[in-house]
């Protein structure tokens, strides 16, 4: 059982923000969770280097849903550079913590965002994020 989800996590789980597909996204990040086999997709719209909209879809646990919801909240309105600095730890903090064995789900959200930014950069500049690749190992478990 998912012992120890904070109120904040449950808030985002109950009513996730920014959930669903996006029409004509500028970038799509698609990542799989190496730990439990779950899948997350993040979509972003970018205008003048600023993320004007972010959405997600998640096949995963409560923590995966809450972290993707929080991540999309946090990066909206940020420049790409600022958004890249939003780490999984920042998401976890904003959610008032996650049980240790659920930390890997927040890594998934960070990877999904980076994947979307990478995709956007590839499409617009032909060059993705320097040496970006999704985490192989998780931090949880």
Partner 1 sequence: MKRIYLDYAATTPTHPEVVAAMQPYFSEKFGNPSSLHAFGQEARSAVEQAREQVAKLINARPEEIVFTSSGTEANNFVLHGISFANKDKGNHIITSQIEHHAILEPCHFLEKQGFNATYLPVDKYGLVNPKDVEKALTDKTILVSIMHANNEIGTIQPIEEISEIIREKTYFHTDAVQTVGSIPVDVNKLGVDLLSLSGHKLYGPKGVGALYIKKGTRMESFIKGGGQERNRRASTENVPGIVGLGKAAELARKELNSRQKHLTELRDKLIKGVKNKIPEVVLNGHPELRLPKNVNLSVKYVEGESMLLNLDLEGVAASTGSACSSGSTEPSHVLKAIGLAPDLAQGSIRFSLGRLTTEDDINYVLDVFVKIVDKLRKMSPIYKGGA
Provide the annotated active-site residues. Answer: 36, 105
Among 10, 61, 90, 94, binds ligand FES (CB under 6 A): 61
User: Segment contacting partner 1 (CB under 8 A): 15-23, 75-83, 89-97, 122-130?
Assistant: 15-23
Partners of residue 56 on adjacent β-strands: 19, 42
Q: Which does residue 57 touch among partner 1, ligand FES, none (CB within 5 to 8 A, set by kind)?
A: partner 1
Exposure of 25 in the CB half-sphere (CA atoms within 13 A)? 24
Among 11, 17, 61, 129, binds partner 1 (CB under 8 A): 61
Strand, helix or coil for residue 102: helix
CA 4, 98, 115, 78 torsion: positive or negative? positive
Among 35, 80, 90, 94, binds partner 1 (CB under 8 A): 35
Residue keyed to tokens 């950069």 = 121
């Amino acid at each position: 059982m998912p012992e120890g989800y904070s109120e904040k996590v449950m808030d985002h789980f109950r009513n996730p923000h920014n959930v669903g597909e996006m029409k004509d996204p500028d970038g799509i990040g698609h990542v799989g969770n190496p730990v439990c086999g779950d899948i997350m997709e993040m979509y972003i719209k970018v205008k003048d280097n600023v993320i004007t909209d972010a959405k997600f879809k998640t096949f995963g646990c409560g923590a995966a849903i809450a972290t993707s919801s929080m991540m999309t909240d946090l990066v909206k309105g940020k420049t790409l550079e600022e958004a890249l600095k939003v780490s999984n730890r920042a998401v976890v903090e904003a959610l008032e913590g996650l049980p240790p064995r659920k930390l890997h789900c927040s890594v998934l959200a960070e990877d999904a965002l980076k994947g979307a930014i990478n995709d956007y950069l590839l499409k617009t500049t032909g060059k993705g994020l320097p040496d970006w690749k999704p985490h192989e190992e998780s931090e949880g478990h």
